[in-house]
Amino acid sequence: MFEAHHHARMLADATRLTAFHDAMAEVIADGDRVLDAGTGTGILAAMASQLTAGTVVAVEYLEDTASFAEQALRASDLDRVEVVQGNAVQVDIGTPPDVVVSETIGSLGPEENIVGLTHALRQRYPGIRAFIPSRLRVLAEPVVSPEADALRASVMGAFTREQPGGMSFASVLPQAEHALGSQIITAKLTGATSAGPARPLVEYDLGATSEADFSRTLSFGDSPANAVHLYFEAPLSAAVTLSSHRTAAFTHWGHSYIVRPPHASTVTIGYRSADRRFTCRWERTAESDQPPTGRHGLDREV
C-alpha cells in the first residue's frame, strides 16, 4: 500500500526538501549518474534530474510506492529518471552511480537502515564519489523542559489518581516513572532550555561505517535537567547540514526527548539494528539513591 499520509508529511517538509535540493546542487556535477536509494514519491530523483544530463535511477522497494513514483515522474515529463522497483542494496541498476542520495533517515537517524544501505552500496560500487548525506550523528542534550514536566505530571497523575473499582497503582509508581523514562517521546520542545553541552552518542561515516549498533552511558550527576533531547545532525554537503535539534528549523521528524526520572543520574542509550530500535535505561547512583523529592520528585506540584 502506498502510504499517502506519510509521504504527504515528507513532501510538506520544506526545510527537508530545501536542504536536499541545495546539497544536491552543490554536490552533483552535470553528467553525473545519480542513484536515489529509497525514492518514495520520486521527489529527490526529480530534483536531481534538473541538475545533471546523466540518468537518475530511482530505486524503491515497495511495489505500490514505486508505481506511484513512476506515474508521477512520467506525467511530469521527467524521462531521464528511471524507476526501478527493488531493494537498493541488491537490485541491478546497470552502470554504477557517481552520486548516491538517500533520505532513509529515521526519527533519530539510523532506524531506516541508512548505515547498512550506504555501506552495502559502497561495497558494491567502490567508485561512488559522494553520498548525500555524507555523515550522520546522534546527540543527546540535557535540557530543562516544561513539556517534559507537563508530560510527566499527566502520566504520573493518571497512575496516582484513585481508580474506579478500587485498583491502586501506588505501589508501582517507581516502575511507571522508570517506564516513562525509557520511552522516546516526539513532540515540539519550544520551551526547553539547555542544561549542559550536547554529548555525541554516535557518528556514522556513511558508506564507510558498517555497524550502526552502539550503546553509550551518560551521567548527569546533579544537573538540573529534567529531560534529554535526542537529535540527529546529517551533513548533506559541505554547506548544508540537516538537524532535528530543537533550535533548528522544525521538520517532520519533530523533537525527540526522554524524561528523566526523579532519582536517576545516569542513562544508557543504545541502538540495535536487528530490531531497528533505540533503548534507554535510566539508573540511580549511590549518591542519588534517595526518596524522590523536590524539583523532579513525585510530590512536586506542576
Ligand X SMILES: C[S@@+](CC[C@H](N)C(=O)[O-])C[C@H]1O[C@@H](n2cnc3c(N)ncnc32)[C@H](O)[C@@H]1O
Residues binding ligand X (CB under 6 A): 10, 38-41, 43-44, 59-62, 65, 87-89, 103-104, 112, 117
Are residues 23 and 240 in contact, defined by beta-carbon separation less than 8 angstroms? yes
- Phi/psi for 296 (5° steps) reads -110, 15
Rounded CA-CA distance 56/202 in Å is 31
State how far Cα 284 lies from the chain centre: 28
Q: Which is nearer to ligand X, 1 or 167 (CB)?
A: 1
| Residue with smaller CB distance to ligand X, 39 or 145 | 39
DSSP E strands, 61-190: 81-85, 99-101, 130-132, 135-144, 185-187
Nearer to ligand X, 72 or 153 (CB): 72
**Least separation in angstroms between CB 137 and ligand X:** 18
The span from the CA of 208 to the CA of 135, in Å, is 10
Q: Whose Cβ is closer to ligand X: residue 43's or residue 115's? A: 43
Torsion sign over Cα 274, 16, 1, 58: negative
To ligand X, the closest distance from the beta carbon of 230 in angstroms equals 18
Q: Which is nearer to ligand X, 60 or 70 (CB)?
A: 60
DSSP letter (8 states) at residue 197: -
Q: Cα-flanking dihedrals φ and ψ of residue 172, to 5°?
A: -115, 15
Cell numbers 535505561 correspond to what residue?
281
**Nearer of residues 104 and 237 to ligand X, judged by Cβ:** 104
* Spatial separation of the C-alpha atoms in residues 17 and 35, rounded to whole Å: 17
Alpha carbon dihedral 132, 188, 203, 62, in 10-degree steps, equals: -50
For residues 153 and 297, what is the distance between their CA atoms, to the nearest angstrom?
A: 10
CB of 132 to ligand X, least distance (A): 11
How many C-beta atoms lie closer than 10 Å to residue 302's C-beta? 11
| SS3 assignment, position 66 | helix
Closest distance between ligand X and the C-beta of residue 104, in Å?
A: 5
Write down the least CB distance from residue 88 to ligand X, Å.
Answer: 4
Toward ligand X, which CB reaches closer, 85 or 265? 85
DSSP at 112: G
Q: Which three cell numbers stand for residue 208?
A: 564507510
Closer CB to ligand X, residue 107 or residue 226?
107
Report the amino acid identity of residue 282.
Answer: W
Distance in angstroms (rounded) separating the CA atoms of residues 74 and 58: 13
| Closest separation in Å from C-beta 69 to ligand X | 9
Q: Minimum CB separation from ligand X for residue 44, in Å?
A: 5
Q: How far is the CB of 135 from ligand X (least distance, A)?
A: 18
